[in-house]
Structure 1
Amino acid sequence: MTMPTVIGTDRLELGEGIRWADGRAVLTDILSGRLLSAPGRPAAPLARITQLPCPLGAVAPIEDRPGHWIAAAGTGICRIDPAGRVDWIARPEDDAPVPMRMNDGVADPQGRFWAGSMAYEATEDAGSLYRMDRDGRVTRVLRDITVPNGPAFTADGTVMYLADSARGLVRRYPVDPVTGDVGEPVPHITFSTGSPDGMTTDAEGGLWIAVWGVGQAHRYHPDGTLDRIVELPAAQPAGLCLGGPDGRTLLVTSARIGLSRPGPLDGAVFAFRVDVPGTPAAPYRPERTKSPAPTDPDAAGDTAVRPDSP
C-alpha cells in the first residue's frame, strides 16, 4: 500500500472543511474556531490564518477579494476579513430548541454558498441545509438532517451530493443552476460500515468521500459505483479536496475527537497523489449591490432567513 504524505506537525481535534483556494490548502479545526493553511514544507506546522470565538465549520473565498471569506460558523453564516473581523450575515440556529452549530459548507459553481447545521449532541433530524444566494439572502432549503456533510456539486452545478452522515447515506439532488432550487433527492450511495463525511468532485465527475470511522477515502463513478479506496493511517477522515499545482493531490483532514486512545496520526492532514484532477474551490460571488435583497417569507418549499443588520 502506498502511504500518504503527512502534511504539517499538527494533530487536530476535528479537522474539516479543507479547500484549495488562492494556491494553497485552507482548513478548519471546527471546535477551536481556527482557520488554518497547510505549510509549504511537510515538516512545518499548520499556519493560523485567524481564530473565531465560536466553532468554524468551513469557508469559501470571496471572488476578487483576497483574504476575505464566507464562513459557516457558530449558528450561522458570516464574512471574515483579512484582519479576522467577523460580519454576521444570518444566525438562523440561534433560537433552535437544542444547542446547534454549523458544520460543513461550500460554494457552488454559480457562486452561491451552501452550509449545513447540526446539534452539538447530534440530535436526530435537528440539522438543516442553508443556501446563501449572491444577493445575500439566506434560505433554509432542507431540514430533518442529523449530520449534514458536503455538499459537493457537479461542474455545471445541476447536481448536488449531500451526506447525512448519521444515516450512512449520500443523496443526489437535482439543482436548478439559475435559481438554486433543489428537487427531490434519490439515494446515491449507502454505507454499511463507516460514515460518509466531507466530499468533493473531480474533472471526470467522480465523487471523493472521506469515510469516518474506517480510515479510508473512497472515489465513486458518477453512477455511484465504487472506483477506488485509499487507506489512511487515521481512524476518522473528515474532509477532503483535490489541489496542488496540477489538481492531482488528494488532501484529507482527520480528527482525534472521541477516540479513547488516538494513534500518532489521528488528527493529521494527509496528501495522496491521484490520476484525475480537481479544480480550485469555487468562490462566493456576491452581487455588486449595497445591501442584501429582502427576504421572501412565502418562498415555496423554502424558509427565508432575514440577514442580520449590517
Structure 2
Amino acid sequence: MTVTRPVMLVEAGLELGEGPRWLGDRFVIVDILDGVLYEVPGGPGEPLRPLLRTSGEPLGAVAPIEGRPGHWLAAVGDGIAVLDGDGAADWLARPEAGKNGRCRMNDGAVDPSGRFWAGSMAYDGTPGAGSLYRVDVDGTVVAALTGLTIPNGPAFSPDGATLYLADSARSVINAYPLDIDTGALGAPEPLIQLDDGSPDGMTVDDEGFVWTAVWGGSRVLRVSPDGTIERTIHLPCRQPSSVAIGGPHGTQLLVTSARHGLDTPTPADGAIWTCDAEVTAPPTRTAVLRREPQLPQK
C-alpha cells in the first residue's frame, strides 16, 4: 500500500530535525546542530516552543527519566548527560572527548528495560568513526558497538528481543538479537538495504513493523520484520530524518526533516510533516537511572 497524503504541520526551518517523541500529551523533537529541544504544536500554523537549549553543543536525542520530571537523559555534545530545563548538564560520560572535536553524539532511544542507547558519528562522516553506547540503569556507559559510520535509531521490537540500528552511510538497517536482562547484543542480520537514499531515524509499531525515514529519498518506509516493504509514504522534503507514532488517537505519524547540506532548501526542507499511520506504537519509554545527581555544569 502506498500513502501519499502527508501534510506540513510546521514550516519549522530545522537545520537537522530529529528525535521525535510522543510524551502522552505532546510531541517533542530536537534540532541537533542548534542544540534545542522543542515542543511541537498540536495544530498547523503554530510555532515550535523551545523547551531547553544546550550551551552550544549538539543535542542528538533525549529521553524522559523515571521519577525526575523536567530532566532528560541526553546524547549531547561528546557524551551522555542528564539535562535540566535550563540545559545544565550532569555528565555521565564523555566517550567522544579527546577526538579533537571531530565526533558528536547522534540519535538515541530507550529499550523496554529502561536502558538508553545512543550513537556517535564524525562530523565529516569518516567511515568507522562512530559507535553505539548503552547507558545501564546504574549510569554506567558502555560501548556496545564500534566501527559504525552514521548510526541512527536504534529502535526495539515490541518484546524487546531485537534492536534495529541503521548505519545510514551504508544504507542498511541491521537487526541485532538483544538480551533483555544484560543488554548484550548478538550477531546482526540485515533487515533491509536501500539503493535510493539512506535509512535514518526510526520507530517500531505495535505490530512489530519498522518505520524509517529515508534521508535523500523523500519518503518514509514501513518494513516488516522479514524485510518486506509494506508501505511507502512520499514526502515533498528531500531529507526526511526521523519518525514517531503517537498523537491524541495514537495513530499520528510525525516526520522530521532537515535542510542541512542543501544549497537551495525550500520551505518543505526542515519542516515537520504528519499523516495517519493507521497503526499504533508502544508508548515512549522512560529511561531508568539509579544514580545520584551531581553538580550541574553549563
Partner of 1:301: none
Partner of 2:191: 188
Query: How far has the Cα of 1:117 moved from its partner?
Result: 0.2
- The answer to whether 1:48 aligns with 2:50 is yes
Partner of 1:7: 9
Q: 2:256 is aligned with what amino acid?
A: T
Residue by residue, what CA displacement relative to the aligned partner does 1:71-100 show, whole Å, maximum 9, x if unpaired?
Answer: 001000111123332211110000136610
Query: How far has the Cα of 1:262 moved from its partner?
Result: 1.3
Query: TM-score scaled to structure 1, two decimals?
Result: 0.91
- The answer to whether 1:276 aligns with 2:279 is yes
CA RMSD between the two structures: 1.7
Alignment of 1:255-266 (within 5 A): 255-266=258-269
1: CA distance between counterparts of 2:249 and 2:41? 17
1: CA distance between counterparts of 2:72 and 2:158? 21
Q: 1:247 is aligned with what amino acid?
A: G
2: CA distance between counterparts of 1:56 and 1:233? 26
2: CA distance between counterparts of 1:40 and 1:114? 28
Query: How far has the Cα of 1:22 moved from its partner?
Result: 4.1
SS at match of 2:169: helix
Matched-pair contact (CA < 8 Å) for 1:237–1:253? yes
| 265-274 vs 18-27, greater mean Cα deviation | 18-27
Alignment of 1:51-200 (within 5 A): 51-52=53-54, 53-96=56-99, 99-200=102-203
Residue by residue, what CA displacement relative to the aligned partner does 1:16-73 show, whole Å, maximum 9, x if unpaired?
Answer: 1111114211111110001011012210110000111200011011113222110001
Q: 1:48 is aligned with what amino acid?
A: P
1: CA distance between counterparts of 2:245 and 2:104? 26
* Percentage identity across paired residues of the two chains: 51
Alignment partner of 1:202 out of 189, 202, 205: 205
Matched-pair contact (CA < 8 Å) for 1:9–1:268? yes
SS at match of 1:131: strand
Alignment partner of 1:241 out of 223, 241, 244: 244
1: CA distance between counterparts of 2:251 and 2:39? 18
Q: Structure 2 unaligned segments of length 5 or more: list them.
A: none
- The answer to whether 1:20 aligns with 2:60 is no
Partner of 1:298: none
SS at match of 2:221: strand
Query: How far has the Cα of 1:2 moved from its partner?
Result: 4.1
Alignment of 1:285-300 (within 5 A): 285-287=288-290, 290=292
1: CA distance between counterparts of 2:41 and 2:119? 28
SS at match of 1:166: helix
1: CA distance between counterparts of 2:172 and 2:181? 27
Question: How many correspondences in the alignment?
Answer: 293
Query: How far has the Cα of 1:214 moved from its partner?
Result: 1.2
Partner of 1:302: none
Q: 2:146 is aligned with what amino acid?
A: R
Q: 1:33 is aligned with what amino acid?
A: G
Q: Structure 1 unaligned segments of length 5 or more: list them.
A: 293-307
Query: TM-score scaled to structure 2, two decimals?
Result: 0.94
Matched-pair contact (CA < 8 Å) for 1:103–1:115? yes
